[in-house]
Structure 1
Amino acid sequence: MTRRVAIFLSGGGSNMRALVEDMADDHPARPALVLSNNADAGGIAWARARGIATEVVDHRPHGADRAGFEAEIAARIATYGIDIICLAGFMRVLTAGFVTPWQGRMINIHPSLLPKYRGLNTHARAIAAGEREAGCTVHEVTPALDDGPILGQARVVVRPDDTPERLAARVLEQEHILYPMALRRFAAGETAPLYLP
């Protein structure tokens, strides 16, 4: 059975593109929807140009009403028969009210070697701490921020002259390799962690 995937993003969607391009081959899943909180997100235009269904749910009209924002997302995706949600640079924190019904069916990629450096500014924090390695993690989404069972990790050496921007660029290259591999395995029912060198 082919799993139907919704990909949530807020920006250019480079991880979404890597996922979609991987799903073009023999794959246990296919992209059914790309959703963004930003109508101007480059990822939305890219998906539309390839005939993938898109939805935009702007968070701004909801103000501090996160439950209302999430209820609108839930209503929009309900008609697509989604089996798996992939968060790919979706810059809104989802509450337990949204996450809990999807637990075990929602995954995320985070630019650090979790459990280190949850949240934002991961590369600057890793450099400031003198880390020798950084990387990225694909994990199942739980109500706790950047938590949940790890599905895969890829490591990147932190160089002595690294800036957050240089490190981020090298980590992003690994994200584009790791996330498609992790989704392919997850959609096939494989949840044992995958560790790339």
Structure 2
Amino acid sequence: MTTRIAIFASGSGSNFQALVDACRNELLDATPALLVCDKPGAFVVERATSLDIPYFTFAPKSYSSKQEFEKHILSELKSYEVEFIILAGYMRLIGPTLLDAYKGRIVNIHPSLLPAFPGLDAVGQALSYGVKLTGVTIHFVDEGMDTGPIIAQEAITVDPDETKESLEKKIHKTEHTFYPKTLQQIFANKGEAVIK
């Protein structure tokens, strides 16, 4: 029985694409049941349409509170029988409504070796700090900003002549294989933490 997942994304959706491809190529034993996007005009919605995956878009400002839009999301997740929430460039903190309903079943990917450089522009933060190593972290989601328990990490060397664009490219390349592989381990372990 494959795990039914909802992928949450806010932007172009390259990780969304990689996850769907991994499912369809049988590298990830999961069914992408739904895309959830907080930016109705984002390119990821076009990807979902072309891949024939149902999507739910919403404009947070049209709701009175985070609780209100998360209740709406929750009803969508239930109607698609979603078992795990997979964040892939979703630029919002998850609130108590979803955290309580999916406790231990929300996973995120972040472009740094957490706890270093949480939050926005992790790649820019790493470059301005001058680190020689950065990487990718996959972690369970809690109420904080990139503070949940770490599942797995992959290090990436920062070259002396590295630009933001070149480093982002290296990180994306790693994410697109590392995320499906790690999720496969999580699902095989029924959600228990995997230490790489």
Secondary structure of 1:192's match? Answer: coil
- When structure 1 is superposed on structure 2, of 11-20 and 140-149 the one drifting more is 140-149
Aligned residues: 193
Answer whether contact 1:5 1:31 (CA < 8 A) is retained.
yes
8 A contact 2:111–2:122 mirrored in 1: yes
> Per-residue deviation at 1:22?
0.5
Looking at structure 2, the residues matched to 177 and 152 of structure 1 have their Cα atoms a distance apart, in angstroms, of 13
Aligned partners of 2:164, 2:25: CA distance in 1, in Å? 34
Local SS of the residue matching 1:11: coil
Provide the C-alpha distance between the structure 2 equivalents of 1:15 and 1:52, rounded to a whole number of angstroms. Answer: 15
2:60 aligns with 59
SS in 1 for 2:107: strand
Distance 1:184 1:69 in 2: 29
Task: Return the alpha-carbon distance in structure 1 between the equivalents of residues 128 and 52 of structure 2.
Answer: 43
Structure 2 counterpart of 1:40, one-letter code? G
TM-score by length of 1: 0.91
2:145 corresponding residue in structure 1: 145
Contact 2:105 2:140 in 1 (8 A): yes
Q: Give the superposed CA RMSD.
A: 1.5
Local SS of the residue matching 1:19: helix
Structure-2 residue corresponding to 1:95: 95
Aligned to 2:24: 24
Which residue of structure 2 aligns with residue 171 of structure 1?
171
Paired amino acid for 2:52: G
Checking the alignment, whether the CA contact within 8 Å between 2:71 and 2:97 is kept in structure 1 is: no
Superimposed CA distance per residue, residues 58-89 of structure 1 (whole angstroms, 9 cap, x where no aligned partner): 212126x2211212211222201001110001
Paired position in structure 2 for 1:70: 70
2:128 matched to which residue of 1?
Answer: 128
Runs of 5+ unmatched residues, structure 1: none
SS at match of 1:85: strand
| One-letter amino acid matched to 1:192 | V
Q: What TM-score comes out, normalization by structure 2 length?
A: 0.92
Counterpart-to-counterpart distance in 2, 1:139 and 1:106: 9
Once residues 55 and 124 of structure 2 are traced to their aligned partners in structure 1, the CA distance between those partners, rounded to angstroms, is: 33
- Deviation (angstroms), 1:96: 2.8
Q: Which amino acid aligns with 1:49?
A: S
Deviates more, 1:52-61 or 1:92-101: 92-101
- Seq. identity, %: 35
Superposition misfits of 4+ residues, deviation over 6 angstroms: none
Runs of 5+ in structure 2 lacking a partner?
none
Q: CA separation in 1, counterparts of 2:54 and 2:86?
A: 15
Aligned-pair CA distance for 1:100: 2.8
Indicate the residue corresponding to 2:49 in structure 1.
Answer: 48
Offset, 1:141: 0.8
Structure 1 residues 176-187: aligned runs within 5 Å:
176-187=176-187
| SS of residue matched to 1:92 | coil
